[in-house]
Structure 1
Amino acid sequence: MCGADRVSLERESKVADDPKDVVITSTNQRSPEEQLPVEIKYPEQDLDRGLVGGKGRMIPQNPQNFRPGQKWGLLMVMSAITFISPLASSMFAPAVSYVQKDLDVDNETLLSFSVSIYLLGYAFGPLLLAPLSEIYGRRIVLSCANWFLVIWQIGCALSPNIASLIIFRLLAGMGGSGCLTLGAGVIADLFPVEQRGLATAIWSLGPLVGPTIGPLAGGFMGETIGWRWIFWVLLIVGGVVALGIELLNRETYANVLIRWKTAGLAKELGRSDLRSAYTPDGEKVSIANSLKVGLRRPVLLFSKSPIVAALAFYMAVMYGLLYLFFTTISGVFGEEYGWSSGVSGLAYLGIGIGFLLGAACNGLTSDRIVMRMTAKNGGKFEPEMRLPVMIFFSVFVPISFFWYGWTADKHVFWIVPIIGMAPFGFGFMGLYLPIQTYVIDNYPEYAASANATLTMSRSLVGALLPLAGPKLFANLGIGWGNSLLGFVSLAFVPVPILFSRYGQRIRDRFPVDLQ
């Protein structure tokens, strides 16, 4: 029971007559019309009944009572590795031509698969890591996943053939999915509702900005020091960040914190009857059974919650369009504009700037919009209040496909197609972030599992759909190929209206028990 993560022992008398969860409501110091009640449920402690819990917002061990600097510091630590992991997904892409020569690979599909296989690791990793984090806690699972990501970079760097490279990339992707999966849980643990929009925007920059910066760095490295050094650099940078997380990270999952506190108090007070208020019946649940239940949660959400399944499908489609978009950029600026593989990576900055602008816009407005909608709703917050902003952002997504596709097809001056990528990045962030925040608000205790549903579906599509990219653009050309993607995204523009109008009704009609 030592270390920064352990909950300090408290000698407390009975705190409440009823050991049920209580709701502690607070408001921020804002104008009356902008006040947002923050409901945080924690089990009360009642030692007379043998229940160990907390005192809601009054206990310092409650992660939402951490100092603001500590909260945002933990988020930055999480965001750092969440940047490194997606960076590893795309940094290798511009160097594929060098792998083709070095490992003597003729199969273009196999080469493309060596890049996209990383995202398959993103699809399978969350199904295991999310339930593990809800059994053992966020910290230890994140730590193991980070080192799993880092260590397999050695295998990638030393790969003697394309088959081993594909296998090591898959394993690295599974480790890299840890930060993408657990970040949602950490945000739910640390931040109340009125701060989650900004927190999610900061954390989500990594999965989207990483793939845009990766080709830029990977292209120059492939040209100069060789493709294997891409993985050595990822090993070094990832190792430094993983070590920093080891030193700075803390456990935030309330269930695990109370379990530790129960064990400490039982030892200190010599009482064998104490039990966590999260399991008031006192029944000991085996790890195997807990894991079985945890593994079912993402699948359960996808199959029994139509609103979550619809949002996951919508995000997967947008993610697939994003990676299809990515497949053309290096080729277009290399073949049509005569740029080298390193310089071609600079073209990704267009979509990257769009990501930054979209994240800033959403992060600065999301929580304020939710507060105003809550005030108009008589002070009652609903998770669906995150979704109406998607209507505004959805109209920007199709613009880029037509703008970028046809200006590149007609060899318009290079800056024009690069600027044309920005609307997609801007619109995509405005769709991605509200969906992420929605599942955190909707399932705060099981935010990791809920986010695993999104990560699994979008990564599966993101890994497999780009394999069709080369044939699509070879047959239709850059102009009509991108126009086809533009028409698909245009057909999905009205979908956020349906989410906003009917989301709450669907959620209420199809409740899902995740316990």
Structure 2
Amino acid sequence: MADSKAQTPRDSGTFDKEKPLDFDAEKGQQSDLDGATILAPSERGVSAGSDGVTGDKEKAVAEETEQDPNIVDWDGPHDPENPMNWPEKKKWLNVAVLSILTIITPLGSSMFAPGIKEILVEFHETSSITATFLVSIYILGFAFGPLLVAPLSEMYGRAPLYNIGNILFTIFTVGTALSTNTGMLLAFRFLMGLAGSVPITIGSGSIADCMKMENRGKAMSAWALGPLLGPCIGPIAGGYLIKAAGWRWVFWLIVIIGGCLIPFAFFCLRETYAPVLLERKTARLRKETGNPNLRSKLASNKSAAETFKAAIYRPMKLLIFEPIITLMSLYVAITYGILYMLFTTFTFVYSGHYGFGVDTIGLAYLPTGIGMLIGVGVSGFLSDKIVKDRTAKGLVHRPEVRLLPYFTIPCGLLLCAGLFIYGWTVQEHVHWIVPMFGVLIFCAAIMGIMMSVQSYLLEAFLAHAASVTAALAVLRSLLGALLPLGALDLYESKLQFGWGNSLLGFIALLLVPIPFIFYVYGEKLRKKSRFNKAN
């Protein structure tokens, strides 16, 4: 039954403590004469010794599997049921479906932004905080959703959560479209964010489950286009739709699209999470053989309650006790918060300073989409290229190369430059194309940083991919939701747009060295990490 070594789970709280956290079985497996499977560090895609597990320990674990006939494992290194061995078309179909899902859910974050003034008038609201919170409360749902989604994905797999999330997202969007007051609108938008956080939380885990290391950068870029382009494309279409049919039709359109995606995702998405797939195989073999003692190689000795408890705490433990994740998350969170500060004020800036109408105001978001496309495309290309180049030279891959200091540092500086250009040209009433160019630079830079950071953290803590993504999402989304609340007050203060954006630029400037620090010292810190020694 167990004739080869199992693939270690990517982000599970159920893995054996003897298994390395940086395990990556995509390079193939090597068997000794007795049939026990041994993986060399170079085959795992990590440097020797970086996981604190010796070859003797690995061999002992493999021999234990070989000696126990009741342990169910993959049928050799080329088992077609192993997601790593799927045909490329099947892998990329999964990534394509995930990308579509992550375009739809972020549409809800800002597609109705051009209609904020209409909503305030209809519900008799005058508060500037309410105006910005109508947009940012959705992102608050993105902050809390991952704390529940990540552990559930480790217990029940990815696919069920995608399907349940799609259904709940559509239902909550109906409630938003039918809202009769500000409180009801805010409540349903928060629930939309909770349900919509599913593909954003576990999408990177699904990619890590099936994509080889040298293709992971491109796959991450394709998946990331959804949450990046959604908030940019949405307001463009939303502006014209709101003028023609009113703000409620923005949400009815999302309901229609979301409803169509429910059966599409159900039939096209495949489960990728190794522990769940092996558990299904075990259940099937128990039925076929009548042997109730069969158990999955990746099964946990913990109860479901213990597993859930460990998994639900892990994202916060990673965020608080892991310096790499803490500082990287802080960098991403601050820049993401600034991005949403710009998002929530575009309607007021371009209508007040440049006379854009309800229908054309959405065009102000176009530079953000173009900039994000550039940032994601360049980052994905360079990230995979450097991995392939190192492999061709026979160098052992280490996650830190994803940080690309010759790329992330210029991106950090360009991010600040974009803020300066945007702020001062708006304040001086320079032609609208110039501040839009500043926004394009800012968005290209922020995506270059975010993609590099997320790819690095995914590989540095590969065994906990979903939990790492959840930790990133919590801090990022909290600042994305809360920072915009003070945006209008900041710009209306003595600082105005020039010094207000300059202040944000100087804060971002202080964070520029962070990726370089971990490029140099990241490997040493990972060796000392408590998450390389325990759950």
Instruction: Output the TM-score relative to the length of structure 1.
Output: 0.90
Whether 2:102 is the aligned partner of 1:102: answer: no
When structure 1 is superposed on structure 2, of 157-166 and 443-452 the one drifting more is 443-452
| 8 Å Cα contact 2:26/2:212 also seen in 1 | no
Tell me if 1:473 matches 2:474.
Answer: no
For structure 1, which segment, 48-57 or 97-106, has the greater mean C-alpha deviation from structure 2 after superposition? 48-57
Instruction: State the match for 1:218 in structure 2.
Output: 238
| 1:436 paired residue number | 454
AA aligned to 1:446 is H
Match of 2:438 in 1: 420
One-letter identity of the residue aligned with 1:372 = D
Gaps of 5+ in 2: 7-15, 29-40, 46-57
Q: Residues 368-399 of structure 1, C-alpha deviation per residue, up to 9 Å, x if partnerless?
A: 113334666x6322111111332232121011
Most deviating of 183-192 and 240-249:
240-249
Instruction: Among all aligned residue pairs of Structure 1 and Structure 2, give the percentage whose two residues are the same amino acid.
Output: 41
State the alpha-carbon separation in 1 of the partners of residues 183 and 194 from structure 2: 17
1:199-218 alignment, distance < 5 Å? 199-218=219-238
Distance 1:404 1:56 in 2: 56
Deviations 1:392-420 (A, max 9, x none): 32121011111122222222222222122
Q: Tell me the secondary structure at the aligned position of residue 351 of structure 2.
A: helix
The answer to whether the aligner puts 1:129 opposite 2:130 as a matched pair is no
Q: Give me the whole-angstrom Cα distance separating, in 1, the residues matched to 2:201 and 2:283.
A: 28
2:426 aligned with 1:392: no
What is the one-letter code of the residue matched to 1:306? P
Q: Take 1:95 and 1:164, find their aligned partners in 2: how far apart are those partners?
A: 17
**1:15 to partner: Cα distance:** 5.1
1:287 matched residue in structure 2: 304
Matched, 1:403 2:421: yes
Q: From 489, 496, 503, give the equivalent of 2:522.
A: 503
The CA RMSD over aligned residues, in Å, is: 2.4
- Name the CA distance, whole Å, in 2 between partners of 1:13 and 1:210: 45
- In 2: Cα distance, 1:106 partner to 1:146 partner: 34
2:356 counterpart SS class: coil
Shift, 1:323, TM fit = 1.1
Distance 1:24 1:358, change over 3 A: closer
Q: Deviations over 1:417-466 (max 9, x none)?
A: 21221111111111000111122212333211110000111000000000
Once the two structures are superposed, what CA deviation does each residue of 1:122-180 show, in whole Å capped at 9, x if it has no partner? 00000001110110010001111121111101100111111111111111100000000
Query: Residue in 1 aligned with 2:469?
Result: 451
Are residue 111 (structure 1) and residue 168 (structure 2) matched?
no
Q: Distance in 2 between matches of 1:394 and 1:64?
A: 34
Partner of 1:270: 290
**Kept in 2: contact 1:25–1:37 (CA 8 A):** no
Instruction: Write out aligned runs for 1:1-400 (5 A).
Output: 12=1, 14=3, 26=27, 38-39=43-44, 46=66, 48-279=68-299, 283=301, 285-373=302-390, 379-388=395-404, 389-400=407-418
1:177-223 Cα offsets, whole Å, 9 max, x none, are: 00000101101101021111111111111111111112212222222
Structure 2 Cα separation of the partners of residues 62 and 398 of structure 1: 44
Structure 1: which 5+ runs fail to align? 1-11, 28-35
CA distance in 2, matches of 1:255, 1:148: 26
Where 2:44 maps in the other structure, the secondary structure is strand
Query: TM-score when scaled to structure 2?
Result: 0.87
Cα 1:23–1:489 change in 2 (3 A) is closer
Secondary structure of 2:355's aligned partner: coil
Distance 2:141 2:337 in 1: 16
Counterpart check, 1:489 vs 2:508: yes
Secondary structure of residue in 1 paired with 2:109: helix
Q: Provide the C-alpha distance between the structure 1 equivalents of 2:321 and 2:71, rounded to a whole number of angstroms.
A: 33
Deviations 1:451-504 (A, max 9, x none): 000011100000000001010000122222222222222222222221212222
Residue-pair matches, total: 491
Q: Is the 8 A contact 1:51 1:274 kept in 2?
A: yes
Q: Following TM superposition, by how much is the alpha carbon of 1:73 offset from its aligned partner in structure 2, in angstroms?
A: 0.9
Summarize the Cα distance change of 1:114–1:60 in structure 2 as closer, same or farther, 3 Å threshold.
same
Pair 1:474–1:457, CA change in 2 (3 A): same
Instruction: Give me the whole-angstrom Cα distance separating, in 1, the residues matched to 2:109 and 2:2.
Output: 53
Higher mean alpha-carbon deviation, 216-225 vs 311-320, is at: 216-225
Counterpart contact for 2:2–2:73, Cα < 8 Å: no
Q: Note if contact 1:374-1:382 (Cα within 8 Å) is conserved in structure 2.
A: no
Contact 2:26 2:213 survives alignment (8 Å): no
Distance in 2 between residues matched to 1:358 and 1:397, nearest whole Å = 11
Matches of 2:291 and 2:164 in 1, distance apart? 33
- Counterparts of 2:127 and 2:469 in 1: how far apart (Å)? 35
1:490 aligned partner, one-letter code: L
